Amino acid sequence: MIEHQPNWDEHILIVFSVLAGLAFTESFSQLSLKGFGITESILTFLVFYVVMDNWYWLHKDLVIIDVTSSIEVVLYLLSVVSYSCVPYMFGTKSNAVVGVGAAEWMMINLAIICFIDATRKTASLIKLHNLSLEGYEENEKKLIGRFVFFVITGFCYTIFLIIATAYSVKCTSPAEFKATLVVLIWIAIRIIDLIVMPKISYWVTNVFLERK
């Protein structure tokens, strides 16, 4: 009998679709309960941006990366949970930690995204590194530089966001200011990624391949 391997790419996207729908529904629910306050409106905008941005990039990754190992499946599932802002939703709804507000929970969620993303891309790079040079497809070669860049920046962003969260907890600034700052931080991070990454990914790819 022929043993069929499960199509993990499709399963991962289905899970993400369900979680994204729940994230949108819960965001609107919390927004209406809080009377469409400024802080909640700003963070709801960020939830939508994070979900849709990662939806786009996850599709691009899965077109190239063939998810086969159990560790890859676990990391991708953890990724879609963080992409869907589940930690943020849980934290703000349950008040799990005293003194940690909505803006801080969003920064914690963003830090989790960066950490899991960097870890997942590290696993993908190890998998690609085990291929011979002849085994690389052209789109995989282009992916290498981008992944190396995101691994380095992902761990750096994680540390920065953890420090920013700790500072924000102690800060007495208005919640609206904190929420706006979180949005600006994340947009700045994404701009850095989109502007700087293409400029160095080609060079990084060549260095990676030359070491094989």
CA distance 18 to 42: 23
pLDDT attached to residue 1: 40
Count Cα neighbours of 59 within 13 Å in the Cβ-side half-sphere.
Answer: 7
What are the DSSP calls for 72-115, one per residue? HHHHHHHHHHHHTTHHHHHHHHHT-STT--HHHHHHHHHHHHHH
CA distance 95 to 102: 9
At 198, list the tokens. 């293409």
CA distance 161 to 168: 10
Residue 155 contacts residue 114 (beta carbons within 8 Å): yes
Please give the single-letter amino acid code of residue 94. S
pLDDT attached to residue 67: 83
At 46, list the tokens. 């960020």
Residue 178 contacts residue 40 (beta carbons within 8 Å): no
pTM of the shown model:
0.87
First-to-last alpha carbon distance for the chain, in angstroms, is 38
Q: What pLDDT tens digit does each residue of the chain (212 aa) get?
A: 444 567 888 889 999 999 999 889 888 887 787 777 888 889 999 999 999 999 998 988 888 787 888 898 999 999 999 999 999 988 888 766 667 888 999 999 999 999 999 999 998 888 777 655 455 555 566 677 778 888 889 999 999 999 999 999 888 889 899 999 999 999 999 998 888 776 776 666 666 555 55
Domain ranges (residues) in the chain: 8-210
Residue 26 contacts residue 165 (beta carbons within 8 Å): no
